[in-house]
Amino acid sequence: MSREIVTWSADEVLANADRLAAVYGVAFAAYGETDDDTAAFRHRSLPTHARRDDFRCVVVLDDDELIGFGYGYQGAPGQYWTDRVADLAPPAVVRGWLGGHFEVVELAVLPASQGRGLGGALHDALLADLPHPAALLSTWQYDTPARRLYLRRGWQPLAELPDATLMGTRLPFGAARPA
Ligand SMILES: CC(C)(COP(=O)(O)OP(=O)(O)OC[C@H]1O[C@@H](n2cnc3c(N)ncnc32)[C@H](O)[C@@H]1OP(=O)(O)O)[C@@H](O)C(=O)NCCC(=O)NCCS
């Protein structure tokens, strides 16, 4: 068995969209995501996101089996998430964090493979050596493995949006981590 983290190009992501959606559907089912949500991810979000500036996708392969992935891109005005944060976050947060940021969009590991450090390894590979000044994401407002993972890695809660916590970390990521 050989387990490895590799980076997929946008073209590789689109060629493997069904496999990514399968992982997404199982990983997020526990959070109420439906088959329709997974179809929207597969057919709308992923093809749109894969073409954005500085798109980066990292995946865990176990031999040839896809067991987890994470991706993001450079956020920009005109995109739904960045515009929403600009509208809803306190002005000081918008001024201090938004603009040229890397948006962490998804991180998912198959439930059977969770709790072994793969989510953390994907997170670190996704942020490694990014040239952006900061990374941002939104996550659940209650305690979840994802929220714990981000807090453990030094992400700061920046603002409470109506349905999510906005978190940020300065980049380069390694430099921002506690010793
Ligand atoms: C968030 C997610 C990607 C984390 O994946 P993961 O592979 O389980 O992540 P890790 O194994 O690195 O860390 C998870 C837990 O396992 C623990 N762990 C890591 N390696 C371990 C090991 N070798 N032995 C025992 N425990 C370990 C971590 O300390 C962590 O514990 P904690 O949550 O109590 O702090 C996964 O839970 C997931 O897919 N969730 C659903 C989708 C989701 O929420 N995505 C994020 C949206 S914002």
- Establish whether residue 119 lines the binding site of ligand 1, counting it when its CB lies within 6 angstroms of any ligand atom: yes
The pLDDT-based confidence of 54 (bands split at 50, 70, 90) is very high
The domain segmentation of the chain, as residue ranges, is 3-176
**Catalytic annotation present for 150:** yes
- Establish whether residue 107 lines the binding site of ligand 1, counting it when its CB lies within 6 angstroms of any ligand atom: yes
The pLDDT-based confidence of 179 (bands split at 50, 70, 90) is very low
Q: Give the ranges where 34-76 is alpha helix by DSSP (H).
A: 35-40, 46-49
Q: How do residues 105-134 score in pLDDT, each as one tens digit?
A: 999 999 999 999 999 999 999 999 999 999
Q: Tell me what percent of the residues of the chain surpass a pLDDT of 90.
A: 93
Kindly indicate whether the domain formed by 3-176 is annotated with CATH number 3.40.630.30. yes
Contact (Cβ atoms closer than 8 angstroms) between residue 87 and residue 79: no
Residue nearest atom 9 of ligand 1, based on CA coordinates: 119
Pocket test for ligand 1, best of 28, 107, 147 (most atoms within 8 A of CB): 107
In SS3 terms, the chain reads as CCEEEEEECHHHHHHCHHHHHHHHHHHHHCCCCCHHHHHHHHHHHHHHHCCCCCCEEEEEEECCEEEEEEEEEECCCCCHHHHHHHHHCCHHHHHHHCCCCEEEEEEEECHHHCCCCHHHHHHHHHHCCCCCCEEEEEECCCCCHHHHHHHHCCCEEEEEECCEEEEEEECCHHHHCCC
